[in-house]
Amino acid sequence: MNNRFGVKDLFYVFLLLALLGAVLLEVGQSAYQGRQIIALQGDIQRLNDMQMRQLEVLKHIENSLAVLPSHLRSTDVKPVRGGAVATEAGSGQSAKPIRETLPDGSRYVYYPRPPLSSHNPFSRSDYAQGDWLVLDLNEDPSTLVPYVPQGEGAYLVQGYVLETLLIQSSVTLQWEPWLAQSYRVAKNGLKIWVTLRPNVMFSDGVPVTSKDVVFSFNTLMNPKINDAPMRSSYTDFESCKAINSREVVFTLHHPYFQALANVGALQIVPEHIYKFKRAKDFNNQPPGRLIGSGPYVLQGWQRGQQLTLVRNPRYWGPAPTFNRVVYRFIESPQASMQDYLKGSLDAVSPRAAQYTRFTKDPQFVKHNIYYNYHTPSDGYLYICWNLRLPMFHDRTTRTALAMLVDRNAIINSFLHGLAVPINGPFSVFSPQNNKQVKPIAYSVAEARALLHKAGWVKNSDDILERGGKPFEFTLTIPSSATTLAQIAGYIQHQYARVGIRVNVSPMQFEVMLKRIDSRSFQSYCLAWTGSIEQDPYQIWDSASIADKGSNAGGYSNPEVDKLIAEARSNLNTTSRMHQWHQIQAIIYHDQPYLFLFQQYDMMFINHRFRNTKPYGYYGINTGDWYVPLALQKYH
């Protein structure tokens, strides 16, 4: 029997096709819905991620506002054109530095990042990190412990390891936040608020907090700590107190013209390292204990030979250029120059005779970098008289001693003209210098007349004497200073011409400083560093005579003390300069020092270094130097 495809069969076919279409439609809809669900889940995840990031940003902003000074929490963000706010991501503050006067008259400064030198090399095409910087420190420091060292060498080394709250621009002279992120100075100058950066840490990884700032200040102010010269700069400060973990406030007794400078220059040390119960424990700790937040750490110190600093692997700031900095201790200028010529030193500060000789050599000029320049920070050379001794007690005698010295002859004979005479305690190149002060003229005849007027007469040995005591004294000089030895020899000869016997005594610098601190000297020859505007209190106020203060000669003049006190609290620069000029005129008239000259800075630098040119108010900045990769010597 044959099978036939009838109507009934057609109905079942359509039914089957309908069922199959429904199934396929369902499958397609399910697949579409699945894709939509997957897409929706991705959108939801992206929204969640975005919300989480927004919450993190809000949290950062909230945390930042929580540690902002309470008086600035509504004013730290500076509006820009269009009413928008330019902010540093995650901080809630301006992405650009702020320097402004607030409605209450206070001055506010905020830097979101540590400032770079105006001559920094980082954008130069051949800039490269690496290599070493090997220099001569002259003498081995007695100690590197913060606050207590004496001598420029120790401070140079500390500058690589210890850091300050602020730094001063060599070009603008403005104080810029460093360890600090911001500061505010009250209109009356009696309070200074400082807020630390959130990411700063010491080389051992411990964060720098307000407790460390307070500890550093209190240690410096402790009268039992051996830091009298530094402490004298903070006599106008009443306290430093922590407000929270990042903010401190400095309070002064009365206005002080260098309050911000001294807050800025405060070296911050870790309390957990230097904490002490008795001051003598701090004073007498191991001389090599030097730990800070700076770009380098002390790796080794071979006494009498050299000191090595290496990169701080935890440094929070801009990475330093050199892998290490090595200071060698070479007391002899001749030996130091020989080491430079052999390539053992990368730079050297030559003596004037060396500078003149080598800069006349075409081959040396071709293969070396050399500079001579002057800045307000150049130091001045002087002879300090111990005014406690009867022979130096009267001004007439001291004026006669000044008349016997031809300073221009010294400059031309021993310094090849690379210096200028100085007529008082302030830098010739500073606005503090009183140009109206006339120098005491060189005159042997007038000096003899003044000595006679002061009661000095010659005895049978052709030596001046007064009250039966001969005019004889010892002039102490650093043993490493050959040019000073020549100058001392000249002065010895000049004084002998009128019957004054001078015994020149070269002495190791460290021993010499101890003699000065104990006041066990008759006279000595050294140099003070200069500055744009220095505070004379440390050296010339009678309060600085005691406690190993810097007024080693014992100079005391009530009029000078009064003027110093008035000038220090005077915040008007113009009138304050007039007061400094008065002080200089009085001090130069009194002649507690034999003021000699201010020498130019001179430097020879190895030819492989770049970006070495002096600039601004402070001249050479080794932090700007670098060596292109192809020229690097140490790897």
Q: What is the CA radius of gyration of the chain?
A: 35
- The pLDDT tens digits for 528-559 are 988 889 999 999 999 999 888 899 999 999 99
Domain spanning 296-375+601-631, CATH architecture: 3-Layer(aba) Sandwich (3.40)
Residue 64 belongs to what H/E stretch? helix 7-67
User: Per 3-state DSSP, what percentage of the chain is helix, strand, and coil (rounded to 5)?
Assistant: 35, 20, 45
The answer, yes or no, to whether residue 9 has pLDDT greater than 60, is no
pLDDT in the model for residue 80 = 26
Residue 52's pLDDT band, with cuts at 50, 70 and 90, is very low
Query: How many CB atoms neighbour CB 328 within 10 A?
Result: 19
Domain spans of the chain, in order of start:
98-125+141-283, 296-375+601-631, 380-599
* pTM over cut 0.85: no
pLDDT at 94: 63
The β-bridge relationship of strands 472-478 and 501-507 is parallel
pLDDT over 50 (residue 393): yes
Domain 380-599: what homologous superfamily?
Dipeptide-binding Protein; Domain 3 (3.10.105.10)
Asked if the model's pLDDT at residue 308 lies above 90, the reply is yes
Tens of pLDDT along 99-147? 999 999 999 999 999 999 999 999 999 999 999 999 999 889 999 999 9
How does strand 180-185 pair with strand 523-528? unpaired
**DSSP state string for 326-354:** EEE----HHHHHHHHHHTS-SEE---HHH
Average pLDDT value for the chain: 87
Q: Say if domain 98-125+141-283 classifies as CATH 3.90.76.10.
A: yes
Render pLDDT for 310-341 as a digit per residue (tens, 0 to 9). Answer: 999 999 999 999 999 999 999 888 999 999 99
pLDDT mean over 196-220: 97
